[in-house]
Amino acid sequence: MLDQPIVMLDFETTGLSPAMGDRITEVAALRIVGGEVVERYVSLINCGVRIPSFITGLTGITQSMVDTAPPVDQVVPQLLDFIGSDPLSAHNASFDEKFLRAEAERLTLAPRHASLVCSLKLSRRVFPTLGSYKLGQLSGALGIQFRSAAHRAEADAEVAAKLLIHIGQHLRATYGIRQVDTDLLVSVNKLAAAKVPQFLQKRGQPV
């Protein structure tokens, strides 16, 4: 459970770096309230760029799919409005946030999210003994199933949202933490892994 709204974000892109000219091809943003996804914004995106063949092989997103998708100058403002000032989360959050900021800047806009929570970093700190923290392997280890193909924005965001909810439930059950809020998650993100159990025990109640 999570005690305040938070938006889980996932982009599919043409590559790894907006600074090198890579662009977004698909987005999913899922608003989590009270441990459930209550609202979502999902769209393919036409940035007027070529889709590399290896990206089509990885994601299934083709040139024709983005060529007929809504234009980026329509999608990004709608996305920023959807996120608003709610906290933002993503799996490997620095990747998605840098694309969000880069695409917003192209339109002389700016994101307004209150804070950023990385579910990958959280997982490393809360479940330190797992073998892999890639979303597919991590979700499998925790019993979280993909409903559709990985490497599509909505499917990845859905699993990452379930992961974040799972972490919230784990913190309540294991440490007796009554209020799992963004401030707590951001604090755990910033801690060295070895310090996390003691920090959480101090924040919790006997279980």
Say which range, 4-8, 15-19, 36-40, 143-147, has the weakest mean pLDDT: 143-147
pLDDT tens per residue across span 147-196: 766 679 999 999 999 999 999 999 999 999 988 999 999 999 999 999 99
Per the DSSP assignment, residues forming a β-bridge with 33 are: 36
String of DSSP letters for 91-108: TTHHHHHHHHHHHHHHTT
pLDDT in tens, 41-98: 999 999 999 999 999 999 999 999 999 999 999 999 999 999 999 999 999 999 999 9
**Is this model's pTM higher than 0.75 or not?**
yes
Could you identify the residue written with the tokens 């024709």? Answer: 64
If one compares 204 and 124, the residue with the highest pLDDT of the two is 124
Q: Which residues contact 185 (CB under 8 A, 6 or more apart)?
A: 89, 117, 122, 167
Task: Please check the confidence at residue 146 and state whether its pLDDT lies above 90.
Answer: no
pLDDT of residue 150: 65
Distances (CA, A) of 172 to 105, 166, 178: 39, 10, 6
> What pLDDT is attached to residue 1?
55
Rounded average pLDDT over 138-142: 91
Say if residue 207's pLDDT is above 60. Answer: no
Give me 4's structure tokens.
Answer: 């305040």
